[in-house]
A and B are shown apart, each in its own frame.
Chain A
Amino acid sequence: MEFRRRNFIKFAVGGLGGTLLSPLPWKLIDDIAIWTQNWPWVSVPARGRFSTTNTVCTLCPGACGIEVGKVGSRAVKIEGRDDYPVNWGGICPLGMAGLQILYNEGIRWKAPMKGIGPRGSKEWKEISWAEAIHELATRIKRLRDRGEPEKLAAIDGNQSRSTMAVLIKRLLDAVGSPNYLSMPTQEDTHAMATFLMQGTKGPVAFDLENSDFVLSFGCGLLDGWGAPGRMLGVWREWAKDSSRNRAYLVQIEPRASNTASKADQWLAPLPGTEAALALGIAHVIIKEELYKKEFIEDHTFGFTNWFGANGVEHEGFSGIVLEKYAPQRVEDITGIKTSVIIEVARQFALARAPIALAGRGKGMLPGSLYEFMAVHALNALVGRVNKEGGVLVTNDIPLAQWSDLAYDPVAIGGLKKERVDRAGTPRYPFTKSLIHKFTEAIHESPRSPVDTLLICSANPAYTIPDSQRFIEAMAKVPCIVSFSPFMDETSLMADLILPDHTHLEKMVDIVWPTGIQYPLYALSRPVVGPLYRTRHSGDVIISLAKRIGGPVAGSFQWTCFEEALKERVRGLYDSGKGKTSYSESEPVWRGLATEVRLSSAYSSFKSMWEDLKENGCWYMPSHAFGKWSDAFQTPSKKFEFFSTNIEGALKAHSKGKSFDDALLHLGISSKGDEVYLPHYEEIRSRADEREYPLVLIPIELINLASGWIANSPFLQKTLFDHQLKRDDLFVEVNPKTASKYGLEEGSKVALRSPQGELKVRVHLFDGAMPDVIFIPFGLGHTAYDRYLRGRGVNPNEIIDQIEDPLGGHPVWWNTRVKMIKI
């Protein structure tokens, strides 16, 4: 064929048509798509055998049961367990994102480290475990040799009853230091209120599942309060249907939180006036005689007027409440309408199983003591103490005690010294530890009273109010030792880092998870082997004690942490009670009233131990409701409206000075018998209200981790862009307030308190109380990795700490600020 133009075109067109009719082009598109997606840097997940391991999430003291899915030796997924009594099959966002805490290399210490160069220079040298323990032991030994064992201190974020906490406390005791500090939580305030009113030292227990009317004074029940898995399960039960059995929820807080929005009724009193509202409700209940007379007469002390030993007449709770907390007056204080107070009081008193809850947000920070007492007084008024659906009176879990410590003269001498934070002294008679006073003491003395500071499972440089002050104080401490597995703010200030395993690599326990109404012992176990050269802090403490030698070593006879823990668990076996398995079909809360005396099903301790490890729990699914004879351990053996313990403490404190001075010193502004009764204390900031006209309230969100465990990248996905945009944190401001300042959505402002300044953006939110600014906790890290560092700001930097009367914990929800448009 001749090569001509026409033929050429024919050939080309034919060829094109032919190609298009063939699968070739489609195959090519497909192949190109595939070829362009095959890059060596795209991860290909390794295959392996699928398996699951049951354990317990120990990221918070909630202790939710989790099932970790594994492929080969890798953990790939976390799910909530429905065969675990606490959490109804659900877990919180942080627990769900747990694998990012385990595997995120950028936030973890991989080996023991020693700081070289000046502190804060972030220069580290990797050392061996033997070296690290030797170094610390030598330091502690030197303190003891010098007769100054009290210069060792520890800040511990482990749950107070857990074996880790008890072990660390034991180390300090054995060495001879009284300066063991636990990180403050809301449970501290609950413990104080329970002790003062009930005299009991057991954990606070709310039988929420069985309540039908919940009066929550600020608890973020659906915002991460308590064990979040449990609370969302309880919510499921409450919201199950719209039938008459549905629980009625009244939420009291100044912001339309998730809980307030889901509640049947939302009351927004002025911030800090919750106690007045509680007493206003009490007033209506007493005036209309809606209280449970039987309970009040038989089991309470100080309700009506009474005569003391010296013949002096004391005013009763009812008299003072009737006199001082009339709804009209409470309306003036709180801003809640009289009619609403009366209506809520009636509903509360007439409900079948009402409960009043004191607390704030997620419950990670302490509350106000008198307020907690005022709220708990409501439970007593309607007879809901130790009743189904109410607040249960509890005793501790029957764990075995370790053998007694061997104190040597050095230790005895050291333990006689006053604590640096003065908790437990007549100044703070009921408080366990006060980290802000500890900070202050170091700040104010020319030479730090602490030489070596151990920090476990805590990140105080980030999580405590006025964190800047803590950081400054730490600069004076000669040696800081961090046990943190994470490169958090506090461990970056340390001189020696002895990294712990993360929660999925170790066995630890949680004793009685927050707020649960029955005794439960939760035990986690390693799901994966240690990824790095980290070591269980419990094991490290034991090796350290051995290394210190002498009588200290004598108090730590165990070879490893597991052995120490097992020794305590033996007490559970010896009690002959309890269960280690759970079925969803028999929820514990349903059978609490029926007194089941469970005989142990275990032939030996060994078989129980194996089951405990496998299932992760031991619990007692019953409660002795009708038992009143030894329910209350107060001096009067009754539930005390009038706290004889406060009376005793005040007497001790006012020794050698006038009574009024003593009150002033303790921060109590009221006078007379009211001091010993639940009452409303106005907590005032020192800042001038004209200069700082707005109130700043930090808020805790369920999807923004704000405690020791930092927010993980997955959780950042759940934040809205009116909460965080690039590096800017948003604060919630009522549109009315914003218009006063000429602000729009997204405007940049500076928030200035006497403590400092933060730059944020404004989100206009109708649900925010006017003239109050709401700022989330959990962002603004200066440590960790690129995902977290520098995103947003940390409200703790500008929080004004006001000391709570009597309790002494810092009040963190009442900072006065001014807002400046920038």
Chain B
Amino acid sequence: MKNQEHTKATRYGMAIDLDKCTGCGVCVIACASENNVPVMYDESDKTRNISWMQVYILTNGSQFPHTKVIYIPRPCMQCDNPPCVPVCPATATRKDPNTGIVSQIYARCVGCRYCMAACPYHARDFNWFDPHFPEGTDRYLSPEVSPRTRGVVEKCTFCHHRLMRARTRAYREGRRDLREDEYIPACAQACPAKAITFGDLNNPGHTVSRLIKSPYVFRLLGRLGTEPKVYYISSEDWVRRMADNYLPGEFKGRG
């Protein structure tokens, strides 16, 4: 049912190739500077800091010298079946049926953090403090994204303002459809290894819709049924196995 709903509409999604990702962190910074994400004095406090895009590190667990590390950049999964939406008492978050993007309306958010409890990916951050920018750096804030205040939950929006910008331009030129490269979130644009591919999952012409058919594709905690629209690609079995919870012997690799 759910998928049928969207067969016609656009379904923006992302494929992140972990074989290419080198964990450099550019996506994190591109995201933070694009979206006016505040900075704390102590950014090592990972329970309080805000980072819409978070990079996780995984180790294959083998002993020296067979150890390998890989990185998993984690934006909001933009689930097709988002657990955060039904729990919001203030209707501050909803999934756009036309794009599949899960929005967050800061002005409506009352800060109850039900959505944070519901999200299995820790993709949502709460503003425990008033937003803070190092002295003088409020001069680089972008007027396209409103800064948030204390007591509000925020998260990755797939750089929704970029979609608005692209749409405005398209309308001005008399087009209703966007080209593939017209709307790309900041992280995907910035990735120097081009590990992140963004586009319409429903459009067979978009690279991303081809990529997610790879046999090496997986989604984080896919078995929860949240249907994330962020796909990962890894040719390594151990990476795919770590992406979900399996019983011993249950995982069937494709490598």
For B41, give its contact among A76, A242, A786 (CB under 8 Å): A786
From known contacts A91-B190, A235-B22, infer whether A718 and B28 are also in contact, taking CB-CB under 8 Å.
yes
Chain B residue with the shortest CB-CB distance to A64: B192
For A79, give its contact among B90, B108, B189 (CB under 8 Å): B189
From known contacts A33-B107, A236-B194, infer whether A104 and B24 are also in contact, taking CB-CB under 8 Å.
no
A714 contacts the other chain (CB 8 A): yes
Q: How far is the CA of A45 from the CA of B32 in the complex (A)?
A: 15
From known contacts A41-B130, A45-B36, infer whether A236 and B69 are also in contact, taking CB-CB under 8 Å.
no
Q: Is the CB of B44 within 8 A of A33?
A: no
Q: How far is the CA of A280 from the CA of B139 in the complex (A)?
A: 56
Q: Is the CB of A256 within 8 A of B68?
A: yes
Q: Is the CB of A713 within 8 A of B134?
A: yes
B78 contacts the other chain (CB 8 A): no
A8 contacts the other chain (CB 8 A): no
Q: Is the CB of A719 within 8 A of B152?
A: no
Q: Is the CB of A721 within 8 A of B131?
A: no
Bitwise, B71-96 to A at CB < 8 A (1) or not (0) is: 10000000000000000001000000
Q: How far is the CA of A79 from the CA of B162 in the complex (A)?
A: 14
From known contacts A33-B109, A45-B147, A256-B67, infer whether A714 and B44 are also in contact, taking CB-CB under 8 Å.
no
For B46, list chain A residues within 8 Å (CB): 721
For B147, give its contact among A43, A47, A91 (CB under 8 Å): A43
From known contacts A77-B34, A91-B190, infer whether A702 and B25 are also in contact, taking CB-CB under 8 Å.
yes
Chain B residue with the shortest CB-CB distance to A32: B110
Q: How far is the CA of A769 from the CA of B67 in the complex (A)?
A: 10
Q: Is the CB of A229 within 8 A of B192?
A: yes
For A724, list chain B residues within 8 Å (CB): 44
Taking the closest CB of chain B, its distance from the CB of A50, in whole angstroms, is 9
A720 contacts the other chain (CB 8 A): yes
For A96, give its contact among B19, B41, B55, B190 (CB under 8 Å): B190
For B22, give its contact among A89, A232, A256, A785 (CB under 8 Å): A232
For B131, list chain A residues within 8 Å (CB): 42-43
A636 contacts the other chain (CB 8 A): no
Interface stretch, picked from B56-64, B199-207, B246-254, is: B56-64
Bitwise, A91-121 to B at CB < 8 A (1) or not (0) is: 1110011011011111000000000000000
For A787, list chain B residues within 8 Å (CB): 39, 41, 43, 134
B237 contacts the other chain (CB 8 A): no
Chain B residue with the shortest CB-CB distance to A69: B142
Q: Is the CB of A96 within 8 A of B140?
A: no
Q: How far is the CA of A97 from the CA of B26 in the complex (A)?
A: 9
B193 contacts the other chain (CB 8 A): yes
A348 contacts the other chain (CB 8 A): no
Interface stretch, picked from A258-266, A460-468, A582-590, is: A258-266
The winner among A102, A228, A703 for most chain B CB atoms within 10 A is A703
A204 contacts the other chain (CB 8 A): no
B99 contacts the other chain (CB 8 A): no
For A767, give its contact among B28, B36, B64, B136 (CB under 8 Å): B64
Q: Is the CB of A769 within 8 A of B64?
A: yes
Q: Is the CB of B192 within 8 A of A43?
A: no
Taking the closest CB of chain B, its distance from the CB of A20, in whole angstroms, is 15
For A702, list chain B residues within 8 Å (CB): 22, 24-25
Q: Is the CB of A717 within 8 A of B39?
A: yes
A765 contacts the other chain (CB 8 A): yes
Q: How far is the CA of A713 from the CA of B59 in the complex (A)?
A: 26
Q: How far is the CA of A97 from the CA of B32 in the complex (A)?
A: 9
B51 contacts the other chain (CB 8 A): yes
Q: How far is the CA of A42 from the CA of B143 in the complex (A)?
A: 13
B98 contacts the other chain (CB 8 A): no
Taking the closest CB of chain A, its distance from the CB of B237, in whole angstroms, is 15
Chain B residue with the shortest CB-CB distance to A44: B147
Taking the closest CB of chain A, its distance from the CB of B89, in whole angstroms, is 8
For A785, list chain B residues within 8 Å (CB): 134-135
A145 contacts the other chain (CB 8 A): no
For B110, give its contact among A33, A87, A106 (CB under 8 Å): A33
For B90, list chain A residues within 8 Å (CB): 29-30, 33
Q: How far is the CA of A43 from the CA of B141 in the complex (A)?
A: 8
B226 contacts the other chain (CB 8 A): no
Q: Is the CB of B33 within 8 A of A726?
A: no
Q: Is the CB of B26 within 8 A of A239?
A: no
The winner among A29, A93, A229, A714 for most chain B CB atoms within 10 A is A714
Q: Is the CB of B20 within 8 A of A236?
A: yes
B45 contacts the other chain (CB 8 A): yes
Q: How far is the CA of A103 from the CA of B138 in the complex (A)?
A: 8
How large, as a class, is the contact surface on chain B? 35 or more
A39 contacts the other chain (CB 8 A): yes
Q: Is the CB of B130 within 8 A of A239?
A: no
- Interface set, chain B 1-60, CB cutoff 8 A to A: 19-20, 22-26, 28-30, 32-34, 36, 39, 41-46, 49, 51, 55, 57, 59
Taking the closest CB of chain A, its distance from the CB of B228, in whole angstroms, is 23
Taking the closest CB of chain A, its distance from the CB of B69, in whole angstroms, is 5
For B41, list chain A residues within 8 Å (CB): 786-787
Q: Is the CB of A92 within 8 A of B142?
A: no
Q: Is the CB of A71 within 8 A of B143?
A: yes
Chain B residue with the shortest CB-CB distance to A41: B130
Q: Is the CB of B33 within 8 A of A97?
A: yes
B174 contacts the other chain (CB 8 A): no
From known contacts A261-B70, A766-B64, infer whether A45 and B142 are also in contact, taking CB-CB under 8 Å.
yes
From known contacts A715-B29, A787-B39, infer whether A37 and B107 are also in contact, taking CB-CB under 8 Å.
yes
From known contacts A39-B149, A78-B33, A769-B64, infer whether A720 and B57 are also in contact, taking CB-CB under 8 Å.
yes
Taking the closest CB of chain A, its distance from the CB of B38, in whole angstroms, is 9
Q: Is the CB of A37 within 8 A of B143?
A: no
A768 contacts the other chain (CB 8 A): yes
Q: Is the CB of B193 within 8 A of A99?
A: no
A48 contacts the other chain (CB 8 A): yes
Taking the closest CB of chain B, its distance from the CB of A461, in whole angstroms, is 23
- Interface set, chain B 83-128, CB cutoff 8 A to A: 90, 106-110
Q: Is the CB of B135 within 8 A of A42?
A: no
For A92, give its contact among B24, B65, B134, B149 (CB under 8 Å): B24
Q: How far is the CA of A719 from the CA of B23 in the complex (A)?
A: 11
For B59, list chain A residues within 8 Å (CB): 765-767
For B70, list chain A residues within 8 Å (CB): 261
For A96, list chain B residues within 8 Å (CB): 26, 29-30, 33, 190
Q: Could you jot down 28 A-B contacts, CB within 8 Å?
A: A30-B90, A37-B107, A43-B133, A43-B141, A45-B138, A45-B142, A76-B142, A77-B186, A80-B190, A89-B194, A90-B190, A96-B26, A229-B192, A232-B22, A233-B193, A258-B69, A702-B25, A714-B28, A718-B25, A718-B55, A719-B43, A719-B44, A766-B62, A767-B59, A767-B68, A785-B135, A786-B41, A787-B41
Chain A residues near B (Cβ < 8 Å): 29-30, 32-34, 36-37, 39, 41-48, 71, 74-80, 87-93, 96-97, 99-100, 102-106, 222-224, 228-229, 232-233, 235-236, 239, 242, 256, 258, 261-262, 266-268, 702-703, 713-721, 724-726, 734, 765-770, 785-787
With A45-B143, A256-B65 already in contact, 17 other A-B pairs whose C-beta atoms are closer than 8 Å: A36-B149, A48-B143, A76-B141, A79-B190, A80-B190, A90-B194, A93-B24, A93-B28, A100-B134, A102-B140, A104-B137, A236-B20, A261-B68, A717-B51, A721-B44, A766-B63, A767-B65
Q: Which 10 A-B pairs have the closest CB atoms?
A: A90-B192, A105-B136, A718-B25, A767-B67, A232-B192, A45-B141, A703-B25, A716-B43, A268-B65, A99-B140
